[in-house]
């Protein structure tokens, strides 16, 4: 009898422990699920906020253009429109077309030797930045990479095997950089002796530069907003226009 009672006690303890472990597992899974749902909701909220900011900027732009079109025609209207279009091009918010160059960058296809570092034979964010800086120095007026328009505030950052552009666009090689400007000047800058292309080809990085008679670069598709930078105003309260 004592042995039977002891066995029943062991069985009862085992059942209780099993129930406790089962309940703990269910609670843990529910907590994980709730955290994932909360994170997804936060990302959705952030995305909606960015979309709202973009839509507001578009509405503001359309309103300003309507007011300009409705203004009484005068000798300064034509000049003002040209300044606005120039500002839009510089801001990267309008599609542009013109001559330029197309630069394609891809990882090396050279077979690695034993002991060689494979990182030396792939495109990195600093390689892309060097090409972009050379194009800007050579007078590029508008630049895009894999169809993403670059602004003055655009960043190029490494995120594993890809690069991050404009805070949200993950791009992987091959990288196709389109730049509008003087094709001859930009090609010469890239291909100069001991220049950026020559240094990349040392490691077998594939670089192709093509001059284009006409190419089109799309507008920046993200939200543009300034939280800290504000226009400087003169002492009379009007904005300083340079």
Query: Could you read off the pLDDT tens digit of each residue along the chain, which spans 242 residues?
Result: 455 665 666 666 667 776 776 776 666 666 566 556 676 677 777 778 878 888 888 888 888 877 777 665 566 677 777 888 877 777 778 899 999 999 999 988 887 778 777 777 888 999 999 999 999 999 999 999 999 999 888 888 888 888 889 888 889 999 999 999 999 999 999 999 999 999 999 888 999 999 999 999 999 887 777 778 888 875 554 444 44
Q: 24 lies in which domain range?
A: 7-70
Instruction: Give the pLDDT score at 232.
Output: 83
Q: Do 145 and 210 have their domain in common?
A: yes
DSSP calls for 178-193: EEES-HHHHHHHHHST
Residue 240: Cβ within 10 Å count: 8
Residue 226 in any domain: the answer is no
Q: Do 149 and 206 have their domain in common?
A: yes
Residue 84 in any domain: the answer is no
Q: Do 132 and 29 have their domain in common?
A: no
Residue 242 in any domain: the answer is no
Q: Do 212 and 133 have their domain in common?
A: yes
Residue 28 in any domain: the answer is yes
Instruction: Give the pLDDT score at 242.
Output: 41
Q: Do 112 and 23 have their domain in common?
A: no
Which runs of consecutive H residues, i.e. helices, occur in the chain?
2-70, 77-91, 125-137, 183-191, 196-201
pTM: 0.62
Q: Is 167 in a helix, a strand, or coil?
A: coil
Please name the residue that has the structure tokens 């129930």.
19
Q: Do 58 and 21 have their domain in common?
A: yes
173 - beta bridge partners? none
Cα dihedral sign, 75-78-81-82 = negative
- Domain at 100, CATH number: 3.30.70.1880
- H-helix or E-strand spanning residue 221: none
Q: Report CA dihedral (61, 63, 68, 70) to the nearest 10 degrees.
A: 160
Q: Do 143 and 212 have their domain in common?
A: yes
Residue 1 in any domain: the answer is no
Contact call for residues 97 and 217 (beta carbons, < 8 A)? yes
Please name the residue that has the structure tokens 């792939």.
122
Q: How far is CA 13 from CA 8, 9, 48, 52, 145, in A?
A: 9, 6, 53, 58, 66
Instruction: Give the pLDDT score at 82.
Output: 80
Q: Cα–Cα distance between 206 and 186 in angstroms, integer?
A: 18
Residue 234 in any domain: the answer is no
Residue 153 in any domain: the answer is yes
Q: Do 114 and 186 have their domain in common?
A: yes
Q: Do 47 and 110 have their domain in common?
A: no
Residue 206 in any domain: the answer is yes
Q: How far is CA 72 from CA 21, 199, 224, in A?
A: 79, 57, 30
Instruction: Give the pLDDT score at 56.
Output: 83
Task: Domain count for the chain, please give it.
Answer: 2
Q: Do 38 and 104 have their domain in common?
A: no
Instruction: Give the pLDDT score at 218.
Output: 93
Q: Do 55 and 101 have their domain in common?
A: no
Q: Do 109 and 189 have their domain in common?
A: yes
């Amino acid at each position: 009898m004592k042995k039977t009672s002891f066995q029943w006690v062991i069985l009862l303890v085992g059942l209780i422990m099993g129930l406790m472990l089962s309940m703990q597992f269910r609670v843990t899974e529910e907590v994980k699920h709730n955290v994932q749902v909360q994170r997804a909701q936060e990302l959705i909220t952030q995305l909606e906020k960015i979309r709202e900011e973009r839509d507001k900027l578009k509405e503001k732009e359309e309103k300003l253009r309507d007011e300009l079109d409705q203004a009484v025609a005068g000798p300064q209207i034509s000049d003002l429109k040209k300044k606005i279009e120039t500002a839009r091009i510089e801001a990267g918010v309008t599609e542009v077309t013109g001559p330029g160059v197309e630069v394609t960058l891809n990882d090396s296809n050279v077979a690695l030797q034993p002991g060689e570092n494979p990182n030396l034979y792939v495109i990195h964010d600093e390689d892309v930045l060097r090409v972009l800086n050379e194009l800007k120095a050579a007078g590029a007026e508008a630049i895009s990479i894999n169809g993403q328009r670059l602004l003055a505030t655009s960043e190029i950052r490494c995120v594993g095997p890809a690069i991050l552009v404009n805070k949200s666009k993950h791009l992987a090689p091959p990288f196709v950089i389109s730049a509008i400007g003087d094709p001859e000047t930009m090609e010469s800058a890239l291909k100069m002796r001991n220049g950026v292309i020559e240094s990349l080809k040392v490691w077998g990085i594939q670089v192709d530069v093509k001059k284009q008679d006409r190419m089109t670069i799309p507008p920046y598709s993200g939200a543009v907003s300034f939280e800290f930078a504000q226009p400087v105003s003169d002492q009379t309260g009007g904005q300083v226009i340079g």
